[in-house]
Amino acid sequence: MQKFDPATAIQRINSCDASRGVNPAISDSATFTFPEARLMTDTFHGETEGYFLYSRHWNPSNMALCQALAAMEGTEAAWVTGSGLAAITCALLHEVKSGDHIISSMTTYGGTFAFMANYLTKFGVETTFVNFQDLDAVRKAVAEHPNTKVLYTETMNNPLLRIANVPELSTIAHSIGAKLIVDNTFTPMIFSPYRLGADVVVYSMTKFINGKNDCVAGAICGSGDYINSLIDVNNGTCMLLGPVLDPMRSSSILKNLHTLHIRMQKHGENAMYLAKRFKEVGFKYNYPGLPEHPDYALFNSMMNPGYGYGGMISIDMGTAEAANRIMEIMQQKGVGYLAVSLGYFTTLFSNSGKSTSSEVPEDIQKEMGMSEGLIRFSMGLDNDIEATFQLIKESVDECRK
């Protein structure tokens, strides 16, 4: 595969508009005027360029962000939503009707799991959850369900940080005419799933992409025809369910997107440093950037060079009690915040089983290999990471006393 650099692609797109501001003017309008009535009719039918109709469909600020996201992903187009879950649920709903089937990785974001396991079933859409590390199991599930329309996975999953083999999964999906939808929330820039064979890439921009924890937002990236079908006025899932992102937010997220490559490098550098130090002191750690991780080779085969191995790292403290105590001490010492979510400039940590994966039933948590004492860190942009390591070490020692 030819070398692809998402950061360069975004920079090339950095749009300047008629205002001559270095940032695109914020388009703070729900509706737009037309100089001629005929143009309004043509725009309704998707037959004009450069005209906007109504902001639930398109808005110039949203379009500027979408062009930058598409450049980053290597897709033709993108569309932005009011949350990551809105992007995921719309992308899924758009592919299925009653009687259809989804095959999903057993390990997905809790809300995604709940949507497929508890909600889509109301409409006669069943999901089979499979261990996606086992490609033969995926092939078997596909063979058993010829009505499968979607294979769904996260590139890097939560909280075990396993990596999905996107090229192989894409081959399996396409062999039966199904689509591969990939949630790349944990690894923007590091992986470009569309370029690896996925049909649709979804994001919670709430996390790394925005990186400021000041809003909830999502994105759907794919081919131009696909994005147009999502916002078709007659049967587009996004147009009809209406989860569009507010243009004021699009404008602020676009400015943050331009520093994403530097942030990803620093998050990854800090997590890698900690992984090595955790290894030295004998903590039970999990990080996909070291050769001990079962998907290290796969990671290397799929990654865009130069952005590191991601900002997520976990340690296993054995019991939920120990994990909780250590997290409280770490917060007191200023390591970061005891909070869910990720991709923030300050380190965030949580006990996965009791928080972000609590929608996943305990038996499945066990089958995934999740320990109840897991502490998941989203490493911040700390300048002195050795000092952070010392504080974590002190917190663990204090708990063990």
Ligand X SMILES: *Cc1c(COP(=O)(O)O)cnc(C)c1O
Interacting residues toward ligand X by CB under 6 A: 83-85, 88, 109, 111-112, 154, 158, 183, 185, 204, 206-207, 216, 218
Least CB distance to ligand X at residue 186 (A): 6
Which CB sits closer to ligand X, 161 or 173? 161
Are 154 and 185 contacting, i.e. CB atoms less than 8 angstroms apart?
yes
Residues composing the chain: 401
Which CB sits closer to ligand X, 356 or 395? 356
Reading across the β-sheet that carries 101-105, which strands appear in turn? 77-81, 218-222, 200-204, 179-183, 148-154, 101-105, 126-130
Which CB sits closer to ligand X, 217 or 385? 217
Q: Within 10 A of 299 (CB to CB), how many other CB atoms are there?
A: 21
Tokens of 24: 């695109």
Least CB distance to ligand X at residue 86 (A): 7
Which CB sits closer to ligand X, 183 or 269? 183
Which CB sits closer to ligand X, 75 or 185? 185
Using a 10 angstrom Cβ sphere, with 0-12 exposed, 13-18 middle and 19 or more buried, the burial of residue 36 is exposed
Least CB distance to ligand X at residue 339 (A): 12
Rounded Cα gap, residues 62 and 26, in angstroms? 9
Tokens of 230: 């999502």
Which CB sits closer to ligand X, 216 or 239? 216
Least CB distance to ligand X at residue 156 (A): 9
Least CB distance to ligand X at residue 87 (A): 8
Q: Judging by DSSP bridges, how do beta strands 77-81 and 101-105 pair with one another?
A: unpaired
Rounded Cα gap, residues 77 and 181, in angstroms? 15
Residue number, nearest CB to ligand X: 84
Least CB distance to ligand X at residue 18 (A): 32
Least CB distance to ligand X at residue 34 (A): 34
Which CB sits closer to ligand X, 285 or 344? 344
CA geometry: angle 173, 178, 184, nearest 5 deg: 65
Helical (H) or strand (E) element with 150: strand 148-154
Region of 116 please: left (phi>0), alpha (psi -120 to 50) or beta: alpha
Which CB sits closer to ligand X, 204 or 314? 204
Least CB distance to ligand X at residue 359 (A): 12
Residue with tokens 């942009």: 381
In the chain, what is the greatest distance between 2 CA atoms, to the nearest angstrom?
A: 77
